[in-house]
């Protein structure tokens, strides 16, 4: 009886080739031209940092045959992503932009389309958080978060839709914080929840060009930004996650790849949680 009590309540989720970023490309985005906004990543500990969602998507999409425009406000980080793509034989362009600045957003979209000779897809992987609890949510911090997390994606879609090719795809990266109040940051939770409304409207307007719009909502993912969040809120690391581990940036990237590819041609206006069931069975 004592030995049985020591057994884990579940079998931990395996980490296969895809989850580890080691699977070969299969040509699922051959010929596509995709702008990834937030394609760099935060550096917390350069020696031990895992891959972030934006970099994983950029690398994976290039492996799958796409040209990738890597946009980020951190030029050095975007360059690192592009260099890794080039080292694997892929093609990438680097753009520097602050998504909270309307003029920079418009220039980013135009430059991406010009560099790649067109635009088939956009991934909006942006998000900041500030203001712990309602007491810490000043009007200034609230506006700052929504300018990046919600207004920036709106401005990008407004600028990009006229330039995008028919049959393209737009993907918003949200969070399970849009479904349950886990971050303790009201502005972050609210902005990520509001992305669903924006996504559905973008899907409606884009329908005339057969452009699909969807959301990937990651749960607890082991990324540099995730580790930084854990430093500020240690309880994050103790969350009872189904499957017994945090996800990887590659697992988010593969969900994004599916929704950006022709395999998801009949999926539109939807939210896909990549969280091992955290939002539904915990």
User: What's the CA gap between 232 and 227, in Å, rounded?
Assistant: 9
Does 263 have pLDDT greater than 70? yes
- Euclidean distance between CA atoms 233 and 237, whole angstroms: 8
Q: What are the distances in angstroms from CA 61 to CA 107, 192, 195, 201, 228?
A: 23, 24, 23, 26, 26
68 and 54 Cβ atoms separated by less than 8 Å: no
Q: How far apart are CA 261 and CA 257, in angstroms?
A: 6
- Out of 10, 188, 254, 266, the active site residue is 188
Flag whether pLDDT at 6 surpasses 70.
Answer: no
Using the predicted structure, report yes or no on whether residue 7 has a pLDDT greater than 60.
no
* Candidate CATH numbers 3.30.70.270, 3.30.70.980, 3.40.50.720, 3.30.200.20; the one for domain 30-281: 3.40.50.720
pLDDT digits (tens, 9 = 90+) for 99-131: 999 999 999 999 999 999 999 999 999 999 888
In the predicted model, is pLDDT for residue 4 greater than 60? no
* Prediction pTM value: 0.93
Q: pLDDT tens digits for 123-162?
A: 999 999 888 999 999 999 999 999 999 999 999 999 999 9
Q: What are phi and psi of 34, to 5 degrees?
A: -125, 130
Is residue 188 part of the annotated active site? The answer reads: yes
- 115 vs 20, 77, 129, 263, 267, CA distance in Å? 31, 19, 32, 26, 29
Determine how many CB atoms are found less than 10 A away from the CB of residue 116: 20
- Rounded to an integer, the average pLDDT of 77-97 is 98
Q: Coil, strand, or helix at residue 273?
A: strand
pLDDT, tens digit (0-9, with 9 covering 90-100), for 17-34: 999 999 999 999 999 999
Average the pLDDT over each of 2-6, 84-88, 245-249, 277-281 and give the range with the smallest value: 2-6
User: Quick one: pLDDT at residue 118?
Assistant: 98
Residues pairing with 33 in the sheet: 67
User: What does the pLDDT read at residue 39?
Assistant: 97
Confidence of residue 1 (pLDDT cuts 50, 70, 90): very low
Is 121 within 8 Å of 166 (Cβ atoms)?
no
- Count other C-beta atoms under 10 Å from residue 228's C-beta: 14
Distances (CA, A) of 49 to 41, 86, 112, 202: 10, 21, 28, 34
Q: Where are the domains of the chain?
A: 30-281
């Amino acid at each position: 009886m004592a030995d049985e009590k020591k057994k884990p309540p579940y079998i931990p989720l395996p980490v296969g080739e895809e989850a580890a970023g080691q699977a070969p490309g299969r040509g699922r985005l051959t010929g596509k031209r995709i702008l990834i906004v937030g394609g760099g990543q935060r550096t917390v500990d350069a020696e031990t940092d895992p891959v972030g969602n934006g970099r994983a998507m950029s690398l994976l999409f290039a492996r799958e045959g796409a040209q990738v425009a890597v946009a980020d406000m951190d030029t050095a980080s975007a360059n690192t992503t592009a260099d890794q793509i080039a080292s694997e034989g892929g093609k990438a362009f680097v753009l520097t932009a602050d998504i909270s600045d309307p003029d920079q957003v418009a220039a980013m979209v135009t430059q991406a389309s010009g560099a790649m000779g067109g635009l088939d897809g956009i991934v909006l992987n942006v998000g900041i958080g500030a203001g712990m609890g309602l007491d810490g949510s000043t009007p200034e911090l609230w506006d700052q978060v929504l300018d990046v997390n919600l207004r920036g994606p709106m401005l990008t879609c407004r600028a990009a839709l006229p330039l995008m090719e028919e049959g393209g795809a737009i993907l918003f990266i949200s969070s399970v914080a849009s479904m349950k109040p886990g971050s303790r940051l009201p502005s972050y939770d609210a902005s990520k929840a509001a992305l669903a409304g924006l996504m559905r409207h973008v899907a409606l307007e884009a329908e005339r060009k057969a452009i699909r719009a969807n959301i990937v909502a990651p749960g607890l993912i082991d990324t540099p930004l995730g580790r930084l969040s854990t430093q500020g809120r240690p309880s994050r690391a103790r969350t009872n996650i189904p499957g017994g581990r945090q996800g990887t940036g590659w697992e988010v990237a593969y969900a994004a790849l599916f929704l950006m590819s022709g395999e998801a041609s009949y999926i539109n206006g939807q939210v896909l949680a990549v969280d091992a069931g955290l939002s539904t069975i915990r």
